[in-house]
Structure 1
């Protein structure tokens, strides 16, 4: 069975378009645990957009039209398990409405779209006590595990889907949580592992996906007791797919910058505003977004 390059590009854009990193990326200060007994409810909203579609590092279409309205609910609880150790558990439910059009990939149709509930994630984290805590200087560590179930909308005949039809396992380690007065630095590394998608394309081919590796750096600074600014750098690589035993040579290499501004609206309410943009991408649409997050503590 022989499948042409452009057909493959069209039927695999789901993995290139939908920002799988949306749930695989921390924001500044995410690695700092809340006190034991705290509940957090968070709502995220992001408007993703992009116009350049890349395959193997080459711009296949500079006039593509990608737009996605992305939302996410997150509920977390923190437990103090003694000795300064904090354990937490999260449930994350994203949803999205996504549209993609390209005269190159879809010359005879109006493109592809998908909307609905995306894959559900449950997560757990463990935070060490501060291993160094002198004056205004603190140092700690954190680790986490995420399990994403294939609960989202997925249709094999569609080129774009908000669901992935596969299980995802994410291991995360933050060996550096460094606080110096108003300055906070976090370094996180992670790996994502994937089960197979056995309903890829209208032919129901089996798609295998290799591990994705992610490095995140966050720097943030308090301008006042209620307002801080943050800058994040993300590096993502891996994720090459094999379709029906044929290697697609579509591994990711993406570098992203994110600018954050967080304001304490009330003692138990925070507003986070963000601008995020790709600075380098090998496969998929180069994406940017403008978004925000409301956090409620209770």
Structure 2
């Protein structure tokens, strides 16, 4: 009798966690598009760049409606993105068609160890930023960047953790960069993400829908030399409430995070960017207590 009660209790705990973490189990894919400082400064026409992003993040707090919901949770992620970009001109405008392939590993532990772990490839992303303003002399840039997520990633409805989402997504991002002085510049980015349905969600194969998710980002950047800069940034997202089989989950995202870092051209055609960050506030889902991002960029 004791073993049956224990087994049932564990099962209920897993189901409760799965419901609670509906919007928090895919930390790479569930957010809007994060940018790095200087992303909306275009390279010259004809340039091709290859980028490799690597991120390690640790989470030790879990919130629901602004309150900590599990005493000792843990979720560690090691994720990356391989990205290929080509800059060209079409109709007098600079455009940069690109493809992004996410991959990585998620590992839950402590009081959330029942969620398990997973690894694999995320959903492929296609994007084509278009610069409406590309004024290098005044260091003023304005671009619109549409991103299309394809449901190609690793997904299994019987797993609590997945890198793929089994749904289409579309993100529309606007980026503005302005040089304030010879050394200082500001980067401002805003975007909205729209989600298709996942009609194979959870063990019961429910239908998952999600309201639009919004994000605003800002960086202040200082250029020490032509090859070295440092920056500080802040980001806020909101919206994105989930609905499962028509029932609202009351899990609207409200996340504020900060980062600091810098980039350096270690060779004329190779740049290394490193940033450190953490969440300042989370209303629903896991809260990151530490995050490190590394980006390697190669110009061809």
* TM-score > 0.5, shorter chain as reference: yes
Superposed counterparts of 1:37-116, under 5 Å: 37-81=46-90, 83=92, 85-103=93-111, 110-116=114-120
Question: How far off its partner does 1:100 sit?
Answer: 1.2
- Greater shift in the superposed pair: 92-101 or 177-186: 177-186
Name the count of aligned residue pairs: 286
Report if aligned partners of 1:226, 1:263 keep a CA contact under 8 Å in 2.
yes
* Inter-partner Cα distance in structure 2 for 1:290 and 1:119: 22
State the secondary structure of the residue aligned to 2:159: coil
- Any residues of structure 2 matched to 1:219-230 within 5 Å, and which? 219-230=220-231
- Partner of 1:297 in structure 2? 299
Q: Give the match for residue 211 of structure 1.
A: 212
State the TM-score, normalizing by the size of structure 2: 0.90
Distance verdict in 2 for CA 1:214–1:230, change over 3 Å: same
**Structure 1 residues 58-101: Cα deviation after superposition (integer angstroms, max 9, x where no partner):** 10124211111111100000003365x31111100010110113
- What whole-Å deviation, never above 9, does each CA across 1:116-153 have from its counterpart, x for those lacking one? 001110000111344594xxx43221111000011111
Report how far residue 217 of structure 1 moved. 0.5
What SS does the aligned partner of 1:35 have?
Answer: coil
Q: 1:224 and 1:281 mapped to 2: Cα distance?
A: 36
Query: 2:158 matched to 1:154?
Result: no
Q: Deviations over 1:257-294 (max 9, x none)?
A: 11121011111000001112110101111113112010
In structure 1, the gaps of 5 or more residues are: none
Partner of 1:15: 23
With structure 1 as the length reference, what TM-score do the two structures score? 0.90
Task: Provide the rounded CA distance (Å) in 2 between the counterparts of 1:90 and 1:15.
Answer: 27
SS state of the match for residue 128, structure 1?
strand
Instruction: Find runs of 4+ consecutive structure 1 residues off by over 6 angstroms.
Output: none
Range that drifts further, 22-31 or 91-100: 22-31
Aligned counterparts of 1:114 and 1:14: Cα–Cα separation in 2: 16
CA contact (8 A) 1:35 1:80 kept: no
Contact 1:197/1:206, CA 8 A, preserved across alignment: yes
- Tell me if structure 2 keeps the 8 A contact 1:11–1:159: no
